[in-house]
């Protein structure tokens, strides 16, 4: 293959978006994927959403890069328009969490349409292929060395190379180093091929990495339950923001109402990274059995957890917490006292520690539904630093010529906060395409 306009490492949402857009515009593209299939973790998603405006995004994500936040908000409408241009139906906008707006769409159809556009315009999709090194010339990245499924090695030369391998969540050692030692053994709710390839390739080119310990995106799931891809959504306990969470010492450790994704990050820091989620009958009926986002199916999360073999129990009243099974390891009397303190605090208008900013309803309607929970990781937020054009930055904050990054490989956008991963992959994938299509001087 002759000189490419864009070489993409990773066939997930960001990589396929960029490749399809460049191919549709007449550019020469190739996509290299270490897994046997395309789609990455996007195939498990179903919404493109982000914060309703920049002010809200800055409020919930104050430590994130402001320029990237602005690019996400500004670029989101064009991203939705691109999905529809491909012929993929997007449902009308609905509220997501309390601060987001977004559209449900068929990500599988989107992925297949991107692949179709790439192939129809002469692009190449290389599956089960490893990217062993970046090719560099005169300080610029000019392509990559690839080992294909047959074991053949070849160099692919490109004006732009996009890193979009999906993060490092499938590498336990990197999770332990860059998130928390407890993160080594937490469940994975994503594709198994995102093992930090983009991180290592970028570092070899002098890229700036960080911010350190920015957290990750994931959800609480029933503890001790094996996760299969078809269970990633049904076992995610989005409802935790309307419950109370108690760690192994019987203490609340987070404002649960900020969001399940934030509680998931916080739980990694707790002893053994496990906790009890407690709902009263109101929370159970409205949230554990209800639809979390308009247009999605209602599932009984308590029943699903119980049928999967998780530690679950129903307490007829607060006093029954004192009969907590000893083998669970939780101080039931302390948890009962914690529920009482919480109820007294909210009914008395007292300051709660941790705070309870968005749902201060007392949990005082027995019976109580109890599920032991653990954090599960979907993608990482510590990553390769980029600018709003998806250009990778070096240690001095300057773009590395020829090297781009988008999707979960990129860092800086979110720091221990979250406002949509599919939206970010879409927006910065399209930004990478624009950068790749822009004319640049030849390298001497």
CB of 193 closer than 8 Å to CB of 166: yes
Tell me the chain's radius of gyration from C-alpha atoms.
23
Report pLDDT digits (tens) over 332-370: 999 999 999 999 999 998 899 999 999 999 999 999 999
pLDDT band at 437 (very low <50, low <70, confident <90, very high): very high
Q: Indicate if 149 and 88 belong to the same structural domain.
A: yes
Q: Indicate if 399 and 325 belong to the same structural domain.
A: no
- The answer as to whether 100 is a domain residue is yes
The Cα–Cα gap between 222 and 369 comes to 13
By C-alpha distance, which of 376, 373, 375 is closest to 276?
A: 373
- Residue range 160-184: mean pLDDT, rounded: 97
Q: Indicate if 361 and 247 belong to the same structural domain.
A: yes
By C-alpha distance, which of 6, 3, 2 is closest to 402?
A: 6
Q: Indicate if 182 and 117 belong to the same structural domain.
A: yes
The Cα–Cα gap between 118 and 35 comes to 18
- The answer as to whether 442 is a domain residue is no
The domain boundary residue, chosen from 356, 376, 396: 376
pTM tops 0.75, yes or no? yes
By C-alpha distance, which of 443, 406, 410 is closest to 425?
A: 406
Q: Indicate if 391 and 371 belong to the same structural domain.
A: no
- Which stretches does DSSP call E strand in 316-390? 368-380, 383-385
pLDDT at 443: 43
- Residue range 59-71: mean pLDDT, rounded: 97
Q: Indicate if 111 and 234 belong to the same structural domain.
A: no
The Cα–Cα gap between 407 and 170 comes to 15
The answer, yes or no, to whether residue 71 has pLDDT greater than 80, is: yes
pLDDT at 293: 63
Lookup result for tokens 């001095």: 396
Q: Indicate if 298 and 340 belong to the same structural domain.
A: yes
The answer, yes or no, to whether residue 1 has pLDDT greater than 60, is: no
Q: Coil, helix or strand for 414?
A: coil
Q: Indicate if 208 and 242 belong to the same structural domain.
A: no
The CATH number given to whatever domain includes residue 241 is: 3.90.700.10
Q: Indicate if 137 and 230 belong to the same structural domain.
A: no
Segment holding 164, helix H or strand E: none
- Residue range 41-64: mean pLDDT, rounded: 94
Report pLDDT digits (tens) over 228-264: 888 888 899 999 999 999 999 999 999 999 999 999 9
- The answer as to whether 23 is a domain residue is yes
- Residue range 138-149: mean pLDDT, rounded: 95
Q: Indicate if 280 and 370 belong to the same structural domain.
A: yes
The domain boundary residue, chosen from 334, 352, 376: 376
The answer, yes or no, to whether residue 322 has pLDDT greater than 70, is: yes
Percent of the chain with pLDDT over 70: 97
Total domain count, the chain: 2
- Which stretches does DSSP call E strand in 148-300? 153-163, 209-210, 216-222, 244-246, 275-279
The domain boundary residue, chosen from 376, 403, 429: 376
Task: Give the HSE-up count for residue 309: Cα atoms under 13 Å, Cβ half-sphere.
Answer: 4
CB of 427 closer than 8 Å to CB of 19: no
- The answer as to whether 105 is a domain residue is yes
Whether residue 211 has a cis bond before it, omega within 30° of 0 = yes
Residues contacting 121, CB < 8 A, separation 6+: 23, 24, 26, 29
Q: Which domain holds residue 429?
A: 4-213+381-437
- Residue range 27-34: mean pLDDT, rounded: 98
- Residue range 59-85: mean pLDDT, rounded: 97
Q: Indicate if 207 and 234 belong to the same structural domain.
A: no
19: Cα separation from own chain's centroid: 21
Q: Indicate if 235 and 286 belong to the same structural domain.
A: yes
- The answer as to whether 315 is a domain residue is yes
pLDDT band at 161 (very low <50, low <70, confident <90, very high): very high
- Beta-strand pair 124-126/29-32: parallel
The CATH number given to whatever domain includes residue 155 is: 3.50.50.60
Take residue 25 and report the two structure tokens written for it. Answer: 């515009």
- The answer as to whether 33 is a domain residue is yes
Burial of 293 (0-12, 13-18, 19+ CB in 10 A): middle
pLDDT at 444: 41
By C-alpha distance, which of 322, 340, 339 is closest to 331?
A: 322
Report pLDDT digits (tens) over 257-310: 999 999 999 999 999 999 999 999 999 999 999 776 666 677 899 999 999 999
pLDDT at 441: 53
- The answer as to whether 413 is a domain residue is yes
Q: Which residue has the higher pLDDT, 359 or 20?
A: 20
CB of 223 closer than 8 Å to CB of 303: no
The Cα–Cα gap between 91 and 82 comes to 14
Dihedral pair phi/psi, residue 419, rounded to 5°: -150, 45
pLDDT at 290: 76
- The answer as to whether 241 is a domain residue is yes
């Amino acid at each position: 293959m002759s000189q490419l306009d864009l070489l993409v490492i990773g066939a997930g949402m960001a990589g396929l978006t960029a490749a399809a857009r460049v191919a549709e515009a007449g550019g020469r593209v190739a996509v290299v994927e270490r897994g046997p299939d395309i789609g990455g973790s996007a195939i498990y998603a179903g919404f493109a959403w982000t914060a309703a405006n920049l002010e809200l995004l800055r409020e919930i994500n104050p430590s994130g890069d402001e320029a990237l936040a602005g690019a996400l908000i500004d670029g989101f409408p064009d991203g939705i328009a691109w999905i529809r241009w491909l012929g993929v139906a997007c449902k009308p906008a609905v509220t997501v969490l309390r601060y987001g707006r977004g559209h449900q769409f068929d990500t599988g159809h989107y992925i297949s349409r991107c692949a179709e556009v790439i192939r129809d315009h002469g692009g190449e999709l290389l599956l089960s292929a490893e990217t062993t090194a970046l090719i560099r010339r005169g300080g610029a990245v000019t392509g990559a060395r690839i080992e294909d499924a047959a074991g053949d090695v070849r160099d692919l030369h490109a004006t732009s190379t996009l890193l979009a391998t999906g993060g490092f969540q499938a590498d336990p050692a990197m999770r332990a180093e860059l998130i928390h030692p407890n993160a080594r053994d937490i469940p994975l709710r994503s594709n198994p091929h995102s093992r930090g390839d983009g991180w290592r390739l970028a570092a070899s080119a002098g890229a700036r990495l960080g911010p350190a310990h920015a957290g990750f995106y994931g959800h609480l799931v029933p503890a001790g339950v094996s996760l299969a891809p078809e269970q990633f959504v049904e076992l995610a306990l989005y409802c935790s923001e309307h419950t109370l969470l108690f760690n192994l010492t019987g203490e609340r450790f987070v404002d649960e109402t900020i969001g399940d994704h934030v509680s998931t990050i916080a739980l990694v820091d707790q002893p053994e990274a496990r906790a009890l989620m407690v709902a009263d009958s109101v929370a159970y009926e409205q949230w554990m059995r209800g639809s979390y986002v308009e247009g999605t199916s209602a599932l009984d999360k308590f029943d699903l957890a119980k049928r999967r073999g998780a530690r679950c129990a129903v307490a007829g009243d607060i006093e029954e917490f004192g009969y907590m099974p000893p083998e669970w390891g939780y101080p039931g009397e302390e948890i009962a006292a914690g529920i009482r303190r919480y109820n007294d605090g909210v009914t008395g208008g007292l300051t709660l520690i941790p705070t309870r900013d968005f749902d201060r309803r007392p949990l005082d309607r027995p019976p109580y539904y109890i599920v032991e929970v653990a954090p599960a990781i979907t993608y990482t937020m510590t990553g390769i630093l980029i600018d709003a054009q998806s250009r990778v930055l070096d240690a001095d904050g300057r773009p590395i010529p020829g090297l781009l990054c988008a999707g979960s490989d990129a860092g800086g956008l979110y720091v221990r906060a979250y406002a949509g991963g599919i939206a970010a992959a879409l927006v910065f994938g399209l930004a990478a395409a624009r950068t790749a299509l822009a004319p640049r001087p030849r390298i001497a």
